[in-house]
Chain A
Amino acid sequence: MPHHWGMAVDLDRCTGCEACVVACHAENNIATVGDSEAARGRAMHWIRVERYWEGEFPEVKVKFRPVFCQQCDNAPCEPVCPTYASAHSEEGLNAQIYNRCIGTRYCANACTYNVRFFNFYPPAWEKPLHLQLNPDVSVREGGVMEKCTFCVQRINAAEVAAGMQKRTLMDGEIQPACVQSCTANALVFGDLNDPESAVSKLAESPRGTKLLEELGTKPKVTYLLKESWHESRGA
């Protein structure tokens, strides 16, 4: 059975530290757009930590929620793409094939999660910042859509390595950059087709929910809701 990659996000652990955000930039050659473009709403953050305020001062609370491509199994961004640049892979990923993208931006409109980002201008790295670019990840050109790939380059590398050693992949062996960096271990990545994997077990958690599940997108990311504290509960 092919792998079926998924993630779990434990909202009870996430601290809003945003290490994941910069880690993703560093790993995936995501350009910074600068202040005036950011002011136009063109900053690109494949993963963002959403913040929602609840209540009023002083009884105020904050909800953090890291949001990135949900790798929908019924992805609204896929059928709309005229060139198959947004396409489903055998391992259940919503692949973004930059070479094929002609820049209609239709997929980004269709994505209910608003996790697709467009290179409104050709991205630039002021020298020598370009020396940091990860050679495993293609640099996109202007006019091309991009988004979280579940760090497919890391998945591919691990699969090649395991193949060379003639063994199967171990649970936890692949860590996308955000998962690797997550300081509170709020992000867990793994194979949903392996019932023993950590992510499969978390996906079964009673705290588990999916974002906008009611729209029928079949997202592969499970969000584990924040718990509240009860003095009597537990050990």
Chain B
Amino acid sequence: MSRAAHNSLADDLLRPVLHSSRAFYITAAILGTIVLCGLSTWFYQIYYGIGVTGDNWPVFWGFHETNFVFWIGISHAGTLISAILRIVNATWRRPVTRCAEVITAFALMIGAMFPLIHLGRPWLAWWLIPYPSERGLWPNYRSPLVWDFFAINTYLLSSLLFLALPAIPDMALIRDRTKGWRRTLYGKLSLGWQGTPKQWHRLESAMHLMALAIIPIAVSVHTIVSFDFSMAVVPMWHSTIFGPYFVAGAIFSGIAALNIVMAVIRKLLHLEKYLQPVHFQNLGKLMLAMSLLWGYFVFNERLVTWYGNTTHEMTALWSTQMGRYSPLFWTMVFCNFILPFPLLTIKRLRSITSTVVASCGVVVGMWIERFLIIVPSLSYKSMPYSWGSYMPRWPEIVILASSFAAMGLLYLLFSKFIPIISIWEMKVGEHPEIQIAAQVQEAEAAGELT
């Protein structure tokens, strides 16, 4: 490959950072408006009270908590997948990793908003923070919500690091290629990156360590989120399977989200050359595997409940199989299983479009899954007199919609900030014979790669 080709790769990938089209501004404005609507709705909710939602006695949790679990689940696409792919050194990962890591960062930020949004007195949320006060008022370390606080913050921090580290060389690239404020800004952000072998070496080892560390963190985060439910003696919540079940679901929905995001940026940023069918195919295979695993957990969970046949659990179970919540349940089964299965298995049907269709199904299906974990169980707790039901009201729907818009908006803005495909990793990828990035740089510098 020629040097020109290299420059064209960098040009292609840097173009979105350096130039913004009208379409970008329009999209950003639309998404921004939706996000603003969501924020105003949140302030409306704070002003008037949680009463503006559909929450009630006994269904004290509804859309907000569903969104929380959903977005934390989505966040598992990125960092976790990219870490695994890095460790197993799957070369096709190269154009995918950053796309994925960005999803993680923003999905976590959005997800972490919901514990605040759902509070009755959100202005007191800081009471969850442990700090030494003279009254000795610590948070309750026995509460899974406090565990959430730690888990999510740890994951968010490490994911940001995981995203930031491999971005350094690209920021240095921008620094080198621009003038004016960009040069200053990226100069600061690239932390004095010169691409010396020592720096390359350190980056590589740091990434390796981070990849190793972030896998258990990611697994633990959704396990802990699952503890929010499984630690309570609520029918169908109190289950030992919830940890892996939630993690599997999280990765499942995360891959789906990644597919969709990749397809969108591929079109919008004209990255067809870099995000190729093979990437979608491979991620599709992974998603298929997760679909099977997820399906197994759902079946297992339900079989054990059914076989155990305790009154209270059966009530909650039947409400999703044949009762009030069954339309949602069967929609979920369709979206998460029946739809993706043929699309991802039958060779003839496999394409980018079909993977995206399947992924859209999975995202919807996994949102419903989170809803079905929370709401039916609360509707049918152990005292039949206090059974109830739940219907969302407009503030919850607006906030849900705006969480998706926020994802889009943040993503869009991010793509203006750092190339959404890692340029240096792509370069390494194009020269599989050179395994170490440092060597690429050296070779490039020596003009060997012409």
Contact = CB atoms under 8 A, between A and B. Distances in A.
A touching B, CB within 8 angstroms = yes
A108 interface: yes
Interface stretch (B47-55, B105-113, B183-191): B47-55
Given A67-B385, A76-B233, A143-B120, A121 B48 contact: yes
Given A101-B121, A103-B50, A144-B120, A41 B145 contact: no
A110 B230 CA distance: 10
B385 A41 contact: no
Interface string B41-67: 000000011110011111111000000
Contact of A109 (B56, B121, B149, B234): B234
B143 A215 contact: no
B269 interface: no
A99 to B, nearest CB: 10
Interface stretch (A21-29, A111-119, A154-162, A202-210): A111-119
B51 A41 contact: no
Interface string B192-203: 000000000000
B119 A80 contact: no
Given A80-B143, A142-B120, A112 B60 contact: no
A41 B121 contact: no
B341 to A, nearest CB: 34
Given A51-B385, A109-B232, A114 B48 contact: no
Contacts of A13: none
B87 interface: no
Interface stretch (A81-89, A128-136, A165-173): A81-89
A81 B120 contact: no
Interface residues of A, number: 47
A119 B140 contact: no
B140 A84 contact: yes
How big is the B interface, by class? 35 or more
B383 A50 contact: yes
Nearest to A44: B57
Interface string B223-237: 000001001111000
Secondary structure of the B contact surface, majority rule = loop
Most buried by B among A67, A105, A212: A105
Contact of A83 (B50, B128, B378, B383): B128
Contacts of A110: 231-234
A112 B49 CA distance: 25
Contact of A103 (B48, B121, B234): B121
Most buried by B among A79, A82, A101, A110: A82
Contacts of B323: none
B49 A121 contact: yes
A217 interface: yes
Most buried by A among B54, B378, B386: B386
Interface string B374-395: 0000100111111010000000
B45 to A, nearest CB: 10
A106 interface: yes
Contacts, number: 142
Contact of A104 (B56, B57, B145, B234): B145
B385 A81 contact: no
B128 A118 contact: no
Contact of B381 (A43, A51, A81, A112): A112
A143 B139 contact: no
Contacts of A142: 49-51, 120-121
A21 B140 CA distance: 33
Interface string B417-428: 000000000000
Contacts of B145: 80, 82, 104, 106
A212 B381 CA distance: 11
Contacts of A84: 139-140
Given A79-B143, A106-B143, A41 B232 contact: no
Contacts of B139: 82-84
Interface string B105-135: 0000000000100111110110110000000
By Cβ-Cβ distance, the 7 closest A-B pairs, closest first, are A103-B120, A143-B120, A120-B51, A41-B56, A114-B386, A105-B60, A121-B51
Given A41-B56, A42-B56, A121-B51, 14 more contacts: A41-B388, A51-B385, A80-B144, A80-B231, A82-B128, A82-B149, A102-B119, A108-B60, A109-B60, A112-B381, A113-B382, A114-B381, A118-B50, A119-B120
Interface of B: 48-51, 54-61, 115, 118-122, 124-125, 127-128, 139-140, 142-146, 149, 228, 231-234, 378, 381-386, 388
